[in-house]
Amino acid sequence: MTVVELHGVTKTYGTGPAALTVLHDLDLGVEAGDYMAVVGPSGSGKSTLLHVMGALDRPSTGRVRFAGDDVTAMSDAALSRVRAVHLGFVFQQFFLLDGRSALENVADGLLYQGVRRPERLRRAREALDRVGLGARAGHTPTELSGGECQRVAVARALVHGPRVLLADEPTGNLDQASGAAVLDLFDTLHEEGATIVVVTHDEHIAGRLPRVVSMRDGRVEHDTCPVPPSSAGVTS
Amino acid sequence: MPGAAVVRRGDVVTRTEVGPPVARPRDRRPHGPDGPTVVRRMSAGDRLRLGARGLTVRKGRTALSALGVAIGITALVGVLGLSESSRADLQAQLDALGTNLLTVAPGQGVLGDDATLPDESVAMIARIPTVESAAAVRKVDATVRRNDLVPTSETSGIGVVAADLDLLRTVAATLREGRWLDDATSRYPAVVLGSTAARRLAIGSLDGGVDVWIGSRPFTVVGILDPVVLASELNEAAIIGTTVADAVSDEDLPPSGVYVRVDPDEVVATRALLGRTANPAAPDEVQVSRPSDALAAQDAATRSFTLLALGLGGVALLVGGVGIANVMVVSVLERRREIGVRRALGATRGSIGGQFLVESVLLSLLGGVAGALLGVALTWGYATAQGWAIVVPWRPVVAGLACSLVIGSLVGLYPAMRAARVPPTEALRTA
């Protein structure tokens, strides 16, 4: 089953002669259970691709579908709902709220789905257990190491059971050991069935993952495991 | 299929279905391959908690930005509370003194000469059925002195009047010391002093018998009045009996004023009758007035000061509101990243805007509550110091809190709109 489909996606910033096209007629599909890396030098368009794949931005032309729903024409509120339900984000700089416990931070991942607080906290505890930080639920980000913070962020990203986990340079702010721990966590989650997309410029990380999509100048230069066009095609 | 995908394509295996099964209420399940997506609105409690969280992060800033509104509300509640207390005090005073005292005085004749009241006017006024009591005072052309060494031209600002015995009851005066005149003492050289007159003559106590000189003879001071509120001219008077007054003065003494206590329900009607009754020959020359009106006028004057102070409080409130708007705009700029992350977590524009609006309302309300407490404390303290009845100014408190609520929502709108417009991609922007 294809969870994210990009079909003929172009993203252009600005208009007229100054217009900058960052993505060129891009086709990409993410299958359920995929564990993939999006790599490329800076300026290759991988951040923009992440925006589009993460329903944070709409393409200029083309179609994007999440679990079969076409989001191209969705309202901002509907797009927010897609993010709330289908997507989980892990950021390079963690973006946890200071002064709030790991548990509260993770529970925030459920806030915008209208899940009530006791249920949020219960599920946050489960998610922390999954990332191996159940014992540190009461600690604030300043009391946690960088690696632990990123694992809390991962717990926040998956607490609502998203279809896809999107990670933007998840090890970029971590030392070697902590970074490896986060990647090990991704491996485990993947073995449990999670769909994970890691955006990175680090070829070494990309090499670990089963599927690698290389970007260059706004196009997919190489895909080690392309989704067959039939499954990514537009069905109306 | 090439590649190393662990999960076979086409398998409906989502992550939530991996691991030990967890019982979840159906509607809370965010999605299902064959079920509709259910996203509920955030609860009011969550919205409040989220807004309050923003305030607890920067406590100093929160306190300072709430200060402006607090000052405004303090002024509002304090001023209204004080004026309410003072009005309650005045009302109590009026209730005690009654608003049914009227005074009848000779005005001026058509040529500007001083008119007089006919001698029979008191008796005629007393005959009006709605009049409860009437008492005349007559100016005596004499001065009061502490002893006979003081020249007779020295008045000390004290007037000598001859009064009917009913005067005390009619003006509701009370004695600080001694007795009021009676049938006997009004015929002999006895005098009752007004409170100011006693002070000017340096008479503190009547122990051992005290004399003053009126005209060319000593008078025994038999009583000293408490301050008379509704007939304050009596405070500066030395009051003697009518019979003895005739002996002091050579001439006839026409009434120079009549105090009239009337039926409280018939004040207006009786007032209209008094002029014609007192001087049927020249009703236009009679001045009828109601001393309690002066107190009411005094109250009206205080009220315009109250309005001024209220205006100042309003300005403080406005400035406080603008301060909150400022702080909130800065806060939105500082927290673009947080907004982006929240958008990525699924917050809609509405929930982001709502978060900042709630924050601004709470901030303003915080100032409002602090201001209201301070205002009540101020009212309480001042009223206690003045010996007034303590009136907790409920209405100003409620109005103040409502004001801060409205101001918080109004000034929060713009920052909330700015926050809502922060794009979700902000979360992923590399700083």
Of A35-44, B33-42, B211-220, B370-379, the range with the lowest mean pLDDT is B33-42
Residue B30 and residue A130: Cβ atoms within 8 Å? no
pLDDT, tens digit (0-9, with 9 covering 90-100), for A70-102:
888 888 999 999 999 899 999 988 899 888 899
How does the average pLDDT of chain A come out, rounded? 89
**Structure tokens given for B256:** 């120079």
The per-residue pLDDT for B38 is 61
- pLDDT above 70 coverage of chain B, percent: 89
Residue A142 pLDDT > 80, yes or no?
A: yes
From B323's Cα to the closest Cα of chain A, the distance in A is 26
Task: Report how far residue A153's alpha carbon sits from residue B254's, in angstroms, rounded to the nearest whole number.
Answer: 101
Residue showing tokens 């000189």: B213
Contact B300, B143 (CB under 8 A): no
Give the best residue of B27, B29, B31 to mutate against chain A (max A CB count within 10 A): B31
Task: Report how far residue A218's alpha carbon sits from residue A13's, in angstroms, rounded to the nearest whole number.
Answer: 13
Element (H, E) at B326: helix B291-334
Give the best residue of A11, A42, A56, A191 to mutate against chain B (max B CB count within 10 A): A56
Of A97, A189, A225, the CB nearest to B5: A225
Mention the CATH class of domain A2-224: alpha beta
The per-residue pLDDT for B266 is 85
Query: Which residues in chain B have their CB less than 8 angstroms from residue A225's CB?
Result: 1-5
Backbone CA torsion sign across B363, B364, B368, B371:
positive
Of the candidates B344, B19, B14, B346, the residue with the CA atom closest to the CA atom of residue A34: B14
Of A179-193, B43-57, B348-362, the range with the lowest mean pLDDT is B43-57
Residue A80 and residue B57: Cβ atoms within 8 Å? no
Average pLDDT over residues B240-257: 84
pLDDT, tens digit (0-9, with 9 covering 90-100), for B111-166:
666 777 888 888 889 899 999 999 999 988 888 888 888 887 777 888 899 999 99
Residue B1 pLDDT > 90, yes or no?
A: no
Rounded to two decimals, the pTM is: 0.71
Query: Which residues in chain A have their CB less than 8 angstroms from residue B41's CB?
Result: 114
- Strand A196-200 and strand A164-168: the pairing is parallel
- A42: Cα separation from own chain's centroid: 18
From A5's Cα to the closest Cα of chain B, the distance in A is 14
Query: Which residues in chain A have their CB less than 8 angstroms from residue B4's CB?
Result: 210-211, 225
DSSP calls for chain A = -EEEEEEEEEEEES-GGG-EEEEEEEEEEEETT-EEEEE--TTSSHHHHHHHHTTSS--SEEEEEETTEE-TT--HHHHHHHHHHHEEEE-TT--PPTTS-HHHHHHGGGGGGT--HHHHHHHHHHHHHHTT-GGGTT--GGGS-HHHHHHHHHHHHHTT--SEEEEESTTTTS-HHHHHHHHHHHHHHHHTT--EEEEES-HHHHHHSSEEEEEETTEEEEESSPPPHHHHS---
Torsion of CA A11, A17, A18, A19, to 10 degrees: 0
The per-residue pLDDT for A6 is 93
Alpha-carbon separation of residue A148 from A178, B48, B358 (angstroms)? 8, 29, 32
**Structure tokens given for A189:** 């989650």
B28 touches chain A (CB under 8 A): yes
pLDDT band for position A159 (50/70/90)?
Answer: very high
Of A76-85, A96-105, B35-44, B238-247, the range with the lowest mean pLDDT is B35-44
The ipTM, to two decimals, is 0.91
Residue A112 and residue B17: Cβ atoms within 8 Å? no
From B54's Cα to the closest Cα of chain A, the distance in A is 11
pLDDT, tens digit (0-9, with 9 covering 90-100), for B319-375:
999 999 999 999 999 999 899 999 999 999 999 999 999 999 999 999 999 999 999
Task: Report how far residue B428's alpha carbon sits from residue B431's, in angstroms, rounded to the nearest whole number.
Answer: 9
Residue B40 and residue A81: Cβ atoms within 8 Å? no
Residue A95 and residue B341: Cβ atoms within 8 Å? yes
Query: Which residues in chain B have their CB less than 8 angstroms from residue A190's CB?
Result: 6
Residue A50 and residue B428: Cβ atoms within 8 Å? yes
Of the candidates B425, B375, B379, the residue with the CA atom closest to the CA atom of residue B401: B375
Query: Which residues in chain B have their CB less than 8 angstroms from residue A130's CB?
Result: 19
**Structure tokens given for B54:** 């923003």
**∠ Cα B190 B195 B201 (to 5°):** 70
Q: Which of residues 269-328 of B touch A (CB under 8 A)?
A: none
B23 touches chain A (CB under 8 A): no
DSSP calls for B341-404 = HHHHTT--HHHHHHHHHHHHHHHHHHHHHHHHHHHHHHHHHHHHHHTPPP---HHHHHHHHHHH
pLDDT band for position B34 (50/70/90)?
Answer: very low
B22 touches chain A (CB under 8 A): yes
Residue A113 and residue B40: Cβ atoms within 8 Å? yes
From B339's Cα to the closest Cα of chain A, the distance in A is 11
Of A51, A114, A210, the CB nearest to B428: A51
Residue A223 pLDDT > 60, yes or no?
A: yes
For residues B25 and B390, the model is more confident at: B390
SS3 B226: coil
Average pLDDT over residues B165-188: 90
Q: Which residue of A has its CA nearest to B35?
A: A67
Query: Which residues in chain B have their CB less than 8 angstroms from residue A91's CB?
Result: 341, 427-428
Average pLDDT over residues A61-77: 88
Torsion of CA A6, A7, A12, A16, to 10 degrees: -170
* Domain coordinates in residue numbering, chain A: 2-224
Residue B53 pLDDT > 80, yes or no?
A: yes
The per-residue pLDDT for A229 is 52
Contact B52, B304 (CB under 8 A): no
Residue B307 pLDDT > 50, yes or no?
A: yes
Residue B68 pLDDT > 50, yes or no?
A: yes
Contact A137, A145 (CB under 8 A): no
Q: Which residue of B has its CA nearest to A165?
A: B15
Task: Report how far residue B422's alpha carbon sits from residue B352's, in angstroms, rounded to the nearest whole number.
Answer: 9
Of the candidates B291, B296, B292, B293, the residue with the CA atom closest to the CA atom of residue B104: B291
Task: Report how far residue B410's alpha carbon sits from residue B388's, in angstroms, rounded to the nearest whole number.
Answer: 38
The per-residue pLDDT for A186 is 93
Give the burial class of B202: count Cβ atoms within 10 A of its Cβ; 0-12 exposed, 13-18 middle, 19 or more buried.
exposed
Query: Which residues in chain A have their CB less than 8 angstroms from residue B43's CB?
Result: 114, 116-117
From B320's Cα to the closest Cα of chain A, the distance in A is 28
Q: Which residue of B has its CA nearest to A85?
A: B30
The per-residue pLDDT for B417 is 96
For residues B112 and B23, the model is more confident at: B112
B16 touches chain A (CB under 8 A): yes
Across the A:B interface, residue pairs with CB atoms under 8 Å apart total 173
pLDDT band for position B8 (50/70/90)?
Answer: very low
Q: Which of residues 62-101 of B touch A (CB under 8 A)?
A: none
DSSP calls for B391-422 = ---HHHHHHHHHHHHHHHHHHHHHHHHHHHTS
Residue A151 pLDDT > 60, yes or no?
A: yes
- The secondary structure of residue B318, as a DSSP letter, is H
Residue B9 pLDDT > 90, yes or no?
A: no
Of B1, B7, B342, the CB nearest to A193: B7
Of A33, A113, A162, the CB nearest to B7: A33
Average pLDDT over residues A154-171: 92
pLDDT band for position B110 (50/70/90)?
Answer: low
B423 touches chain A (CB under 8 A): yes
CB atoms within 10 A of CB B244: 22
Q: Which residue of A has its CA nearest to B34?
A: A67
